[in-house]
Structure 1
C-alpha cells in the first residue's frame, strides 16, 4: 500500500495515567514495547498509536494546549486512518515490525481530557500494537502497511 504516512512524535511516560512527553527517538523491544515506558510489557497493548488527525479533531472542538503525547499515545502519526486498520495488520515503522492487536479502549476513570471536553478521542481512534521485531523509531520515519 503506498499511503504516505509517517511518525510525527515518539512519546513516553514513566508512570501509567500520566501525559506522555516527546523524546528524540525510541527503542521498541520485541514482545515488550517502548523501552522505559510505563505501558510496556508482555501483553497485547505494548504500544499505543494515535493519528494527529484525531488530535486536530479535538482542537477544532476548541480544546487548547493539545499536543502529541497528551492522549498518552506512544506514537503520534500522520497520513493514516489508524482505527480503520483491521486487527492483525502488520506495519513497519523505521526498523520495527508491529502488529495491530486492539482498536480503541475503555477510557480510564479520571481521564483529564474527558474532564475538560466531555469526550476523549483515544478510546475510539487510538490503536494498540505488539512488537514483532525490535528497533529504533524516530519522528519522520515512514509507516508501511504490510
Structure 2
C-alpha cells in the first residue's frame, strides 16, 4: 500500500474561555493556538486542550479536530484578512489530506499514536462568532471545507514534526467530502444515506443523524 504523505503544519490547543459577543458572555473552546512542544494524546483529547460544550464537542469520537491548511487561502480571500493556524478551532492543521482524499474509517499513524477518521467536522455557531461572520457555518458547509474528526485508537505523544502515514483505508471508501455532499445537499439520496450509516467507524452522532433521516424518508 502506498503511503499518503500527510504533513502536520501546526499543533494547536486551547482551554475554554469566556468572551463577550454582542454584549453577551459566551464560553467557548474554539480559540486554539499553535504550540511547539510534544503533547500527550488521550482517547478524548490533547493535553492542554479543552471544549466548552461537551454535548457536541470532544469525547472519544471527536478527540482531535483536523483542518487542511489548503483551505486557509480561500477564507483569507473571502474575509480579506490573514488567519493563523488554529483559527477554525482545529487541533491539527495539516497539509496533503483534503476532504476528498480522506475516507471515514481510514486509520493513520501519527508518530506512535494511532487514529481513525470518525466524521466530517460539523461547524457550530461559535465558529461564526470566532470569525465575526454570521454566514461562516453555512459557507463552510456549502464549500465542503469542513475538516474532520479523529478518534484515538492508541494513545501516545505527538508533535508538529511527527510523521503521518496511512495504515489502512476503510473498505467502504466513503470520503469526508462525499459524506458532506449527502448530509447537506443530497438529502433525499436514500441509497447514499444507507451506505454512510453502515460505515462501522462512523461516529455515533452522525450514524444517528442518518438513521433518523432514513426513517423520515420511509427507508
Shorter-chain TM range is 0.7 to 0.9
CA contact (8 A) 1:28 1:35 kept: yes
Q: Which stretches in structure 1 are left out of the alignment for 5+ residues?
A: none
Structure 2: distance between partners of 1:95 and 1:106: 29
Structure 1 residue corresponding to 2:75, chosen from 42, 58, 73: 58
Q: Residue in 2 aligned with 1:91?
A: 108
Q: Residue in 2 aligned with 1:74?
A: 91
- Point out which structure has higher relative CO (alpha carbons under 8 A, 6+ apart): 1
Q: Deviation per CA, 1:69-106, whole angstroms, max 9, x where unpaired?
A: 11110000011114542211111112211011111204
Paired residue total: 145
Higher strand share: 1
Structure 1 residue corresponding to 2:117, chosen from 85, 93, 100: 100
CA contact (8 A) 1:96 1:137 kept: yes
CA contact (8 A) 1:87 1:100 kept: yes
Structure ID, larger Rg: 2
In structure 2, the CA distance between the partners of 1:110 and 1:97, relative to structure 1 (3 Å rule), is closer
Structure 2: distance between partners of 1:82 and 1:51: 8
Q: CA deviation at 1:143?
A: 1.9
Structure 2 residue corresponding to 1:17, chosen from 12, 22, 29: 29
What is the CA RMSD across the aligned residues, in angstroms?
2.4
Q: Which runs of 4+ in 1 moved over 6 A?
A: none
Normalized against structure 2, the TM-score is what? 0.58
The DSSP-based 3-state class of the residue aligned with 1:77 is strand
Higher helix share: 2
Structure 2 residue corresponding to 1:143, chosen from 161, 164, 179: 164
Q: Which stretches in structure 2 are left out of the alignment for 5+ residues?
A: 17-27, 52-56, 168-219
Structure 2: distance between partners of 1:103 and 1:83: 11
